[in-house]
């Protein structure tokens, strides 16, 4: 009975994290039921686990001592060493007419030698292409160079200078619409070199657009909204009428494939106003969604 009471008392003290020193009498009464390792009169009974240390056990409602996990070590984060773009003085030949003696922006993993090799192959294709109009050729070359080699600013913490967005839009959608579509799919041009994405360029009037790289392209002619009449065949009409006599609305000139907008600045700018480029018809006209023939306005 004494042994049972003592065992219960010790178990309760162990669960409560209390150390208890045995006296000689209790030691003698428990040696018959203790493990082979004896506990001396001056020993202190404590609870511990190998490799964990002697910490206070958690209260588990009398189910025995349960220890929390060892405290986790703070995670060590390695410093990032990802390569960054650099500004280098242009040393090539192919684009020297456009970026010669300028500091150009080079992406990680790319060298000027790699870019020059790709540009040389692309320029050979362009020079031998029968699909490239004369009006497009002189703008296609600087476009590729400025895209491959953006020009660094004096303050290198700022983004580099890139093609003007309005020039990019005219190039892709009007002056070189067909050529641009073909170039994007060509294995030596669009699949090797980065083609300019107009929507990613700074919009007109936004930061970064004030010193953008111009291609020297012809600009759209201004619209005179007060012009309500035309003279002769209306070759010089620059009003804003955009409805055919049928009542159908005109589509943008860049969406029709019968007249090259690159040859007529009056059709540039993404508008749908009635025009008579070159006086080809007897009065201003436009194209609509319903037909492939021009409709008078």
Yes or no: say if 128 and 121 are a contact pair by the CB < 8 Å rule. Answer: no
Beta strands in the chain (DSSP E): 20-21, 44-45, 86-89, 103-106, 285-286, 295-296
Q: For the domain with range 86-200, which CATH number is right: 3.30.530.20, 1.10.2000.10, 3.40.50.300, 3.30.300.30?
A: 1.10.2000.10
Classified as helix, coil or strand, 82 is coil
Cα–Cα distance between 148 and 164 in angstroms, integer? 14
**Phi, psi dihedrals of residue 286, rounded to the nearest 5°:** -160, 175
Q: Report pLDDT for 62.
A: 42
129 or 160: which leads in pLDDT: 160
What is the arithmetic mean of pLDDT over 281-296?
Answer: 92
pLDDT in tens, 149-186: 999 999 988 999 999 999 998 888 888 877 877 788 88
Q: For the domain with range 219-296, which CATH number is right: 2.20.28.10, 2.60.120.560, 2.70.70.10, 2.40.20.10?
A: 2.40.20.10
Q: Which residues have a Cβ under 8 Å from the Cβ of 59 and sit 6 or more positions away?
A: 15, 16
Percent of the chain with pLDDT over 90: 40
> Parallel, antiparallel, or unpaired: how do β-strands 44-45 and 285-286 relate?
unpaired
Q: Answer whether residue 114 shows pLDDT above 60.
A: yes
**How far from chain centre, in Å, is Cα 159?**
14
**Summary mean pLDDT of the chain:** 76
Yes or no: say if 242 and 273 are a contact pair by the CB < 8 Å rule. Answer: yes
What is the arithmetic mean of pLDDT over 194-206?
Answer: 86
Q: Give the number of other CB atoms < 10 A from CB of residue 127.
A: 10
Residue in the structure block whose two tokens are 């002619």: 221
pTM over 0.85: no
pLDDT in tens, 5-21: 434 444 444 444 433 33
Indicate if the alpha-carbon torsion angle 59, 60, 66, 70 is positive or negative: negative
Percent of the chain with pLDDT over 70: 73
34 or 121: which leads in pLDDT: 121
What is the arithmetic mean of pLDDT over 225-253?
Answer: 95
Cα–Cα distance between 36 and 55 in angstroms, integer? 25
Q: Report pLDDT for 76.
A: 52
Q: Report pLDDT for 81.
A: 65
| Partners of residue 285 on adjacent β-strands | 275, 296
Most confident residue range from 119-123, 154-158, 251-255, 274-278: 274-278
CA-based nearest residue to 263, from 134, 144, 131, 167: 134
DSSP one-letter code for 59: P
Yes or no: say if 212 and 165 are a contact pair by the CB < 8 Å rule. Answer: yes
Domain residue extents for the chain: 86-200, 219-296
89 or 59: which leads in pLDDT: 89
Cα–Cα distance between 94 and 104 in angstroms, integer? 14
Q: Report pLDDT for 204.
A: 85
- Output the 3-class SS for 138-197: HHHHHHHHHHHCCECCCCCCCCCECECHHHHHHHHHHHCHHHHHHHHHCCCCCCCCCCCC
Cα–Cα distance between 183 and 180 in angstroms, integer? 5
Q: Report pLDDT for 191.
A: 79
pLDDT in tens, 45-67: 333 333 334 444 444 344 334 33
CA-based nearest residue to 175, from 129, 222, 138: 138
């Amino acid at each position: 009975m004494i042994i049972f009471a003592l065992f219960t008392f010790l178990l309760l003290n162990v669960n409560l994290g209390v150390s208890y020193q045995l006296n000689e009498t209790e030691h003698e009464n428990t040696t018959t039921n203790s493990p082979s390792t004896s506990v001396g009169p001056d020993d202190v009974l404590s609870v511990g686990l190998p490799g964990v240390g002697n910490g206070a056990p958690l209260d588990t409602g009398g189910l025995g001592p349960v220890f929390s996990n060892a405290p986790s070590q703070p995670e060590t984060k390695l410093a990032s060493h990802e390569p960054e773009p650099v500004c280098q003085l242009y040393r090539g030949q192919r684009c020297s007419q456009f970026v010669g003696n300028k500091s150009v922006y080079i992406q990680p993993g790319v060298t000027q030698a790699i870019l020059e090799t790709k540009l040389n192959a692309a320029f050979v294709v362009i020079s031998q292409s029968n699909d490239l109009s004369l009006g497009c050729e002189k703008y296609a070359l600087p476009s590729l160079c400025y895209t491959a080699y953006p020009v660094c600013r004096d303050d290198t913490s700022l983004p580099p200078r890139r093609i003007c967005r309005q020039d990019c839009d005219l190039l892709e959608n009007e002056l070189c619409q067909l050529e641009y579509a073909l170039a994007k799919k060509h294995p030596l041009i669009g699949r090797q070199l980065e083609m300019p994405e107009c929507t990613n360029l700074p919009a007109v009037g936004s930061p970064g657009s004030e010193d953008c790289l111009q291609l020297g392209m012809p600009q759209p002619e201004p619209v005179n909204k007060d012009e309500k009449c035309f003279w002769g065949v209306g070759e010089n009409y620059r009003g804003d009428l955009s409805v055919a006599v049928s009542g159908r609305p005109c589509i943008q000139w860049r969406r029709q494939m019968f007249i090259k907008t690159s040859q007529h600045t009056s059709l540039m700018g993404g508008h749908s106003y009635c025009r008579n480029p070159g006086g080809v018809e007897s009065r201003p006209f436009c194209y609509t969604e319903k037909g492939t023939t021009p409709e008078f306005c």
